[in-house]
Amino acid sequence: MRIKAYIAFLLAAVLMTSCSHIDEDEQLIYVKPAPVERSVLLEDFTGQRCVNCPNAAEEIEKLIEQYGEDAIIAVSIHSGPLGFHTNPRFLGLATDVGDNYYNHWNLEFQPVGLIDRGAPAEYTAWGTLIRQELQKTAPVDIDLMVNPSDDNQIDIYTEIQGVDGNTRGKLQLWIVEDDITAFQMMPDGTRNDNYLHHHVFRAAVNGEWGEDVEVQEGYTVSNNHLITLSDEWKAENLSVIAFVYNDSGVLQVTKTKLLNNEVVEE
Q: Which residues of the chain have pLDDT under 70?
A: 1-28, 260-266
Amino acid at 171: L
Q: What's the rounded Cα separation, in Å, for the pair 155 and 153?
A: 7
pLDDT of residue 22: 52
Listed in sequence order, the residues at least 6 apart from 238 whose beta carbon sits closer than 8 Å to its beta carbon are 175, 176, 177, 202, 229, 257, 258, 259
Q: What's the rounded Cα separation, in Å, for the pair 91 and 89?
A: 7
> Treating both helix axes as pointing N-terminal to C-terminal, what angle do 126-134 and 53-67 enclose, rounded to 10 degrees?
30
Q: What's the rounded Cα separation, in Å, for the pair 230 and 180?
A: 14
The structure's pTM equals 0.86
Q: What are the beta bridge partners of residue 240?
A: 175, 256
In order of 44, 62, 178, 225, the CA distances from 57 in angstroms are: 8, 9, 12, 30
End-to-end C-alpha distance for the chain, whole angstroms? 58
pLDDT of residue 27: 60
Sketch the domain layout of the chain as residue ranges. Answer: 36-138+171-204+234-257
Contact 174, 201 (CB under 8 A): yes
pLDDT of residue 30: 75
pLDDT of residue 8: 44
Backbone angles phi and psi of 139, in degrees to 5 = -75, -10
Contact 210, 152 (CB under 8 A): no
Q: Is 125 helix (H, G, I), strand (E, B) or coil?
A: helix
Contact 110, 129 (CB under 8 A): no
- Count of CB atoms within 10 A of residue 76's CB? 28
Q: What are the beta bridge partners of residue 203?
A: 175
Backbone angles phi and psi of 243, in degrees to 5 = -145, 155
pLDDT of residue 25: 56
The CA-CA-CA angle for residues 122, 124, 125, to 5°, reads 75
Provide the CB-side half-sphere exposure for 58 (13 A, CA).
9
What kind of fold does domain 36-138+171-204+234-257 have according to CATH?
Glutaredoxin (3.40.30)
pLDDT of residue 35: 84
* Among 195, 226, 161, 1, CA closest to 84: 195
Helices (H) and strands (E) in the chain, counts: 5, 15
- Count of CB atoms within 10 A of residue 126's CB? 24
